[in-house]
Amino acid sequence: KTLFLTKIPIEIPIYQRMFMLLKFKPEDELAQERVEKWLAAEKESEGEAQPEASEEERLKAQEKAAKRKLKLEKKARKQIRKSRQNLPDDITEDHVFLKLFKNIPRTDLDMLFPNQNVRFRLVDKIKLGLSGGSGGIFGIFSILSKILLTAAISPLVLIGAFFGFIGMIVRQVMNVFTQRTKYMMTLSRNLYFHNLDNNFGVMNYLVDLAEEEEGKEAILAYYFLHINRDKNYNQEELDKEIESYIKEKYDISMDFEVEDGLRKLREEGILTENEGILKVLDLQEASVCLDKQWDNFFNPDKRT
């Protein structure tokens, strides 16, 4: 980050995996929420309540409040429709969207929502305003000076100054479009290069990820029992040993589900338990056991 011509480091949390479930609120519900928010803000700004009024005054106040609420409701609906005008026509409030992204900074979360519009930062507005304003003033003074000095001598000079002024205006307009294109490129990069999957693909990804985690539980349980064959681990000791390893290796505190890992090893015939002491087959015997399990998995003659 640049601050007064010097660069200072800042830390921004990054989501390695960002899962989003999106569903548009019904227009009526969203409009009602905005109206209530605006009315609450107006009531707070008005301060203390007025002294008790007559019946006629109360009726006028209620009528005025109803008209104000109706006006705010129209304003809210207009804002909602404007924010959703770039969405496809076939997208309705009944649709549910699943999105999965990778490596998303927390500061860029707003860019992932479908109803976001490109807006200039305050710094860009100031920069474009200063350059455009100074250029416009310079162009006007340049034309006026040439009108006074050379218009009577050579009209071509006046025409050249006029086209130069037009070219300067075009250049400023192009600067605005160039900056807007940069923002659009950033938005496209976040949506394209950081997008992992959508909708049914997200569901399939999550299922695959859950299956991988199930396999990791069994692998970790087998690994620690195999490399520590000389130790007599029970279930609780094995659980603490694995959690300590993960904390020391990756600096992550976790609650390892040792029961699931041991259950999988037990079902495959790799794990034995005697009076609470856990033991596993060596690699060669475990490979033979798993190979037999796989060979018999699609045995058509095997009756269940």
Averaged pLDDT, groups of 10, the chain, 304 residues long: 65 85 87 89 69 72 86 90 79 85 80 65 67 64 62 62 71 74 70 83 90 90 91 91 91 88 90 90 90 78 55
CA gap 301, 189 in Å, rounded: 55
Cβ neighbours of residue 241 closer than 8 Å, sequence gap 6 or more: 224, 228, 233
Per-residue pLDDT at 304: 47
Q: Which of 199, 212, 211, 190 is nearest to 20 (CA)?
A: 199
Give the pair of three-digit tokens for residue 47. 């301060």
Among the CATH numbers 1.10.3210, 3.40.50, 1.20.120, 1.10.10, which is that of 217-295?
1.10.10
Query: Is the pTM here over 0.85, yes or no?
Result: no
Q: Which of 68, 77, 90 is nearest to 27 (CA)?
A: 77
User: What are the residue boundaries of the structural domains of the chain, listed by start?
Assistant: 2-112, 122-197, 217-295
235 contacts 257 by C-beta, under 8 angstroms: no
Sign of CA dihedral 39, 85, 109, 254: positive
- Chain-centre distance for alpha carbon 4: 30
| Ramachandran sector of residue 5 (left: φ over 0; alpha: ψ -120 to 50; beta: rest) | left
